[in-house]
Each structure stands twice: as structure tokens, then as C-alpha cells.
Amino acid sequence: MKKKFISAVLAGAVSVGFAMHSLTASATLKPGDVAPPFTAQASLGGKTYTYSLADELKKGPVVLYFYPAAFTKGCTIEAHEFAEAVDEYKKYGATVIGVSHDNIDTLTKFSVSECRSKFPVAADADSKVIGEYDAGMPMHASMANRVSYVIAPDGKVIYEYTSLSPEKHVENTLKAVKEWAATHKQP
């Protein structure tokens, strides 16, 4: 009886482990893949405009990060961390854009309060961009998983990181931007 109970507990723990792993594992774009170009309604400092990835790549690398929902705990933490690091990214010629399934009205507020008017956030209400970047939640594909990309000016992905935890997204993407900058002369 005791062996059956232990076996059942272990089987349950393994199942939970696989389920938790599947929440962070996905078929995201990998380094070397071409980043799909997109335009989207975005807000920076409460002002709405049309964001173009192609236009931003003309200026330098782009840190594109996807997040599940504005004003949730993890997404707020992540927005604060990106806001604090924006000036550091700029030193290396990089810009930051966040993308979620939220509507533009919500993101206009989020861009001021949580992004601290430091970088834009784009609305992907139809989840088109989320889908093109394979950045959807495994169990709810229209909602973004927490995925960060660094895209070089040539349009290729040079770094990808997926974790539901907001920790490490800024640290890892900033490291990738610095490594890219070290091998590419800035004008």
C-alpha cells in the first residue's frame, strides 16, 4: 500500500513537472531566424502612434518582449525593469518594445504608469504578432507568453529567452545587445 502511494505521488509530481515545463516551453523563433516585420498601434508616454519594426531596425537592434497582460504582478515588475534599463540599451544603439494582447486604451495607461514613459508598448488585440513570433501561451495561444527577443538591424533574431518569471529578461537581453554591439561598429 505504501509503495503504491509513493508511486502515485511520484507520478503526480512528474506530471506536474511536465505541465509546468510546457507552460514555458514553446516553438519560439531561434537565433538566425528572420523576425517577421510588423506594424501595430502602440503607446509611449500616453501618446498613441503606429509602431513599425522595420523603421526601428533602421536605428539599431530592437529588444522585442512579449508579456501576458498589463497591470498584472509579473508584467508590472518586468515593465519597471525594462524602464530602468532603457538608457543602458540606448548606449548600445538598441530600442525596446513590449507587446501584449491588451487593447490600446489599457496600454496607453500602462505606458505611463508602469513603463514610466520610457519605451512603447504595442497592442496585439488579434494576436497576429504573437502568432508570427510563436510567442503564445501553450494553453491560451491568443495571450502572449513571457518571451524576449533581440533582433539585429538586418532583421534576424540574435537572442531569444522564454520564462514566465520576469527575472532575467532584462539582464539576458542587455547582455545579448552588449555582445552584438561589441562586434558591430556603431555609426
Q: What is the DSSP string of 70-115?
A: TTSHHHHHHHHHHHHHHHHHHHTT-EEEEEESS-HHHHHHHHHHTS
Average pLDDT rounded to a whole number, residues 174-186: 90
Q: pLDDT class for 13, splitting at 50, 70, 90? A: very low
In the predicted structure, residue 183 carries a pLDDT above the cut 80 = yes
Contact call for residues 27 and 104 (beta carbons, < 8 A) = no
What is the 8-class DSSP label of residue 153? T
Q: What is the pLDDT of residue 28?
A: 84
Average pLDDT rounded to a whole number, residues 101-109: 97
Q: What is the pLDDT of residue 142?
A: 83
User: Where would I find the beta strands (DSSP E) of the chain?
Assistant: 39-44, 47-52, 62-66, 95-100, 121-123, 136-137, 140-144, 147-151, 157-162
What residue ranges define each of the domains in the chain, with the CATH number in brackets? 2-183 (3.40.30.10)
Which residue numbers are catalytic?
Answer: 75
d(CA 92, CA 174): 9
d(CA 121, CA 105): 11
Q: pLDDT class for 27, splitting at 50, 70, 90? A: low
Q: What is the pLDDT of residue 55?
A: 98
Average pLDDT rounded to a whole number, residues 45-67: 97
In the predicted structure, residue 90 carries a pLDDT above the cut 90 = yes
Q: 41, exposed or middle or buried, with CB in 10 Å at 0-12, 13-18, 19+?
A: middle
Q: 5, exposed or middle or buried, with CB in 10 Å at 0-12, 13-18, 19+?
A: exposed
- Cα dihedral angle (77, 79, 80, 84), rounded to 10 degrees? 140
In the predicted structure, residue 109 carries a pLDDT above the cut 60 = yes
Average pLDDT rounded to a whole number, residues 116-135: 96
What is the 8-class DSSP label of residue 147? E
Q: Which residue has the higher pLDDT, 8 or 173?
A: 173
Helix (H, G, I), strand (E, B) or coil at 181: helix
In the predicted structure, residue 127 carries a pLDDT above the cut 70 = yes
d(CA 30, CA 105): 32
The predicted model scores a pTM of: 0.84
In the predicted structure, residue 18 carries a pLDDT above the cut 70 = no
Average pLDDT rounded to a whole number, residues 147-171: 97
